[in-house]
Structure 1
Amino acid sequence: MEKENFTISVYTENNIGLLNRISAIFLKRHINLDSMTASASEIKDVFRFTIVVKITEEQVKKLIGQIEKQIEVIKAFYHKDEETIYQETALFKVASKLLFEDRQIQNVIKNSNANIVTVTPEFFVLEKTGRRREVEALYHKLEPFGLMQFVRSGRIAVTKDKMHISKILESFGSETV
């Protein structure tokens, strides 16, 4: 079986130590995380981890089974890239003098559809939301100008299919829904 990207969504209660136990599942299997984000979900008091891994479908099915064994985990799902709509966000900090003195960097900003978040006398900050390849392309274009700081979020994703998670969780008898 060939390795491919999978987005794993884990719906959980918000309990201390759960992140450690979930990451230990990946560690034991020597699976590297491409990204991981955590946030509130569309359901009150239910949180969502969004994890991206590059593994086989057989491996992801086993992972889902192990993740769902955690007491605080309500339900876990996995999806292929083509089944999701996903984005990442990145912030780029660059010396301000370049913004005013170098026309080329102005063109890079304009052509990349990045947004200027803030400008100070010392630096300016750009925000770029898009697919990883778009964020990486902007990184490579800005790198020659001397990035002062760079940070990228993990993937955030929703499914293309109608996945009414509240109804799905109710069918599992969740008391948190």
Structure 2
Amino acid sequence: METTLRTFSVLVDDEPGVLSQISRLFSRKGFNIESLAVGPTEERGLSRLTLEVLTDDQQTELLCNQLSKMVPVHSVRLLAEEHSIRREMVLCKVRAEERSVRSELIQLANVFRASILDVSSISMTLAVIGEESKNEALTDLLREFGILEMVRTGMVALERGRYTIQDERKETLEFNLGKML
């Protein structure tokens, strides 16, 4: 089976130890998390994890099922690239000792819609937000100037259109409440 990069969006309780539990699941199953982003959601007490992992179809189904069974997990979505909006941020400090180099970097920033966050006599720090391919293209060009340091966030993603990760959760809650009555 062919392995591809899959994006999992997981809604969890915002509590200590939840991230550790989820990363242990992937580790126990022998998967390396290629990208990870975690943050609070619009609902107090809940966080969203966006994980990217190389898996095949069978492994993806197994991971979705295992995640869904975990107590702190409210909802799991597998986000297809064509049906989701995906973004990553890159901060990159580049050598820029000469005025001509700074001018070139400003032009590159404009082309890639990057922001210039800091300028010193020897460096310039840029931020770019976009899809991985756009960010890679810019960092490849910045390497020619000499990258002093760089950091990338994990990929964050949302489903396109009217669907949300909460839809599945609401359906489950309604079903469970109906069973209790």
**Count of residues in correspondence between the two structures:** 173
Residue equivalent to 1:168: 168
Q: How big is the alpha-carbon RMSD for the aligned residues of Structure 1 and Structure 2?
A: 1.9
In 2, distance between residues paired with 1:7 and 1:166?
A: 17
Q: CA deviation at 1:88?
A: 0.7
Q: How does 1:57-136 map to 2 (within 5 A)?
A: 57-98=57-98, 100-102=99-101, 103-136=103-136
TM-score (norm 1): 0.88
Q: How does 1:25-64 map to 2 (within 5 A)?
A: 25-64=25-64
3-state SS of the aligned residue for 1:65? helix
Distance 1:167 1:106, change over 3 A: closer
Structure 1 stretches of at least 4 aligned residues deviating more than 4 Å after TM superposition:
none
SS at match of 1:48: strand
Give CA deviations for 1:35-91 in whole Å, capped at 9, x if unaligned.
Answer: 000011132221100001121122111101111222111111112211211011101
- What SS does the corresponding residue of 1:145 show, helix, strand or coil? coil
TM-score by length of 2: 0.86
Q: Deviations over 1:4-45 (max 9, x none)?
A: 222101111112211111111111222121200001113222
Q: CA deviation at 1:147?
A: 1.1
Deviation digits for residues 125-151 of structure 1, max 9, x if unmatched?
A: 101111111111111111121111101
* Amino acid paired to 2:93: K
- Unmatched runs of 5 consecutive residues or more in structure 1: none
Aligned residues of 1:83 and 1:160 also touching (Cα < 8 A): yes
SS in 1 for 2:125: strand
Contact 1:5 1:81 (8 Å CA) reproduced: no
SS of structure 2 residue aligned to 1:172: helix
Q: Partners in 2 of 1:2 and 1:29 — Cα distance?
A: 17
Structure 2 residue runs of 5 or longer lacking an equivalent are: 175-181
